[in-house]
Chains A and B, each alone.
Chain A
């Protein structure tokens, strides 16, 4: 139900004319919020093109006299033994591998919960719903205790394995499959004598591809943005993702605004822009799938 419904009726609705003053006022309100929304981006872009002296001299909105983003980028990636490059690599690794695996596991589990009736199904469904009601931050501390107990702190697996569990992903898969003719497809496959695993791979997976994309997007963005768990588990800088690493630069520089650590500020700003660009690009390119996720989200949540 995304876009269309009202447009067919737009003409009839336009029959009642809106007062031009009200229109102007509404437009002004929207513009004010648009400025509020965009200003930090504008500042970020400007700040990232200023050389390190310039940023501290003016945290304002003035344009840089000599924009020099390339020098900043070079500094960013070479600083402290290429540590930012390592963080970026880590973020990509966690996101891509864990995201793909978590999506696959979600599809398998969501499919099984939808198609089969077996003992324990209700219990599993119930605990999935209950657990997805407890937000991640609250679960992160117990998870940290267990990971520390298992001696997985400062170990890639300690951050990686928990990321594979996405109850919400399972739930969305289940929801999506129930809106398709999945049952009929599976029955047809069985009549043709296909094995269950084959039915899943060559019939169900293609059928579920829109949901796969949506769930994959939701999961990778949440992993990309993840902060608390890696912050708790990984104290070795070389294992950290960008979010935690940049926050540590902020902490180093935080006590000394305007005096030392000028370089660090330019680096943080440049790093922030490098880090959010891929997500912004994903949002722009795959808007349709976000909308699907949104309408699912609005009906579930």
Chain B
């Protein structure tokens, strides 16, 4: 093949897309699709200490779905996710509205300060908070004592999930506030002008005109947040060294991790990981379904948005 012929080939718009797509698609297949397939394959084999590994069909799935530990961890993170997102969104909507309508000054300073925690990786955030909440010497237990609450163990069985949740609220509120703030600024001016002409107060404009329009954004973030909570791993895993209240089966991801590291039962772990992926997909599929239903098509919506 001569150079010219090669160039002509490249120029051919029939070949070019594959040329551009090859590097990404190859890696995508190997490191995203193939692992899912391989994981599914692994999950079909059963491992026992005595008998070794043999094909077991859906036996692992049967025991995952009947496992009390598994469902307890799933319920725990869903409960956690709903709680965290309810608080986060309530706070961030409130703050965004206050900033948007200039109820408070120093808008830029507040935006910056609230957003700062988002820049801290979860693994580092939980270390900092671990020190702050540490029962004997931590800052918050000391403050609680000074304030007359007595000895509060923020990492004890009752409060530990709440404490992890408050780290998440700390990290997420500013980010969500900014997204909502941006969405509030994007509400068409005509609607607001019309409301002003009708003599609406600021409060009425906020609650009757603006908030209803950004509801899809807020709901979408809520769903995504709960979906994210399903993955909870880093925070409780790192925090578990500071407290006995977090077991190695505390969240689904920790359960998978401990099945790998302490029981070396990769087959069972693979089945759990697959079930988790399916749960995530169903969740996300529902979300996308709602989205398409509301806005008349994903692609057209994306175009319009950009």
Q: How far is the CA of A118 from the CA of B102 in the complex (A)?
A: 50
Q: Knowing A5-B185, A129-B288, A225-B122 touch, does A294 contact B28 (C-beta < 8 A)?
A: no
Q: How far is the CA of A280 from the CA of B113 in the complex (A)?
A: 11
| Consensus secondary structure, chain A interface | helix
B14 touches A118 (CB 8 A): yes
Closest B-chain residue to A169, C-beta based?
A: B24
Range for the number of chain B residues in contact with chain A: 35 or more
When the two chains form the complex, which single residue of B35, B95, B301 contacts A143, counting CB atoms closer than 8 Å?
B35
**CB within 8 Å of B: which of A18-51?**
18, 22-23, 26-27, 29-30, 33-34, 36-41, 43-44, 47
Q: Mark A103-137, 1 if CB is under 8 A from B, else 0.
A: 00110110111011010010010011111011111
B131 touches A59 (CB 8 A): yes
Q: Knowing A16-B201, A40-B117 touch, does A59 contact B27 (C-beta < 8 A)?
A: no
Is B7 part of the binding interface, using a Cβ–Cβ cutoff of 8 Å? yes
Contacting chain B: which of A64-72, A73-81, A82-90, A248-256? A248-256
Q: How far is the CA of A70 from the CA of B302 in the complex (A)?
A: 50
B24 touches A170 (CB 8 A): yes
CB distance from A172 to the nearest CB of B (A): 9
How many interface contacts (CB-CB < 8 Å) are there between A and B?
319
Is A6 part of the binding interface, using a Cβ–Cβ cutoff of 8 Å? yes
* Chain A residues in 8 Å Cβ range of B28: 128, 131, 165, 167
Q: Knowing A108-B21, A196-B16, A258-B137 touch, does A29 contact B35 (C-beta < 8 A)?
A: no
A300 touches B305 (CB 8 A): yes
Q: How far is the CA of A5 from the CA of B283 in the complex (A)?
A: 35
| Consensus secondary structure, chain B interface | helix
Range for the number of chain A residues in contact with chain B: 35 or more
CB distance from A251 to the nearest CB of B (A): 5
CB distance from B229 to the nearest CB of A (A): 10
A13 touches B34 (CB 8 A): no
Is A275 part of the binding interface, using a Cβ–Cβ cutoff of 8 Å? yes
Q: Mark B31-50, 1 if CB is under 8 A from A, else 0.
A: 11111101100100000000
20 A/B residue pairs, CB under 8 Å, sorted by A? A6-B185, A23-B103, A30-B104, A38-B113, A43-B131, A59-B132, A108-B24, A112-B17, A131-B33, A134-B280, A135-B231, A142-B36, A175-B306, A196-B13, A200-B20, A225-B121, A251-B238, A291-B182, A294-B175, A294-B182
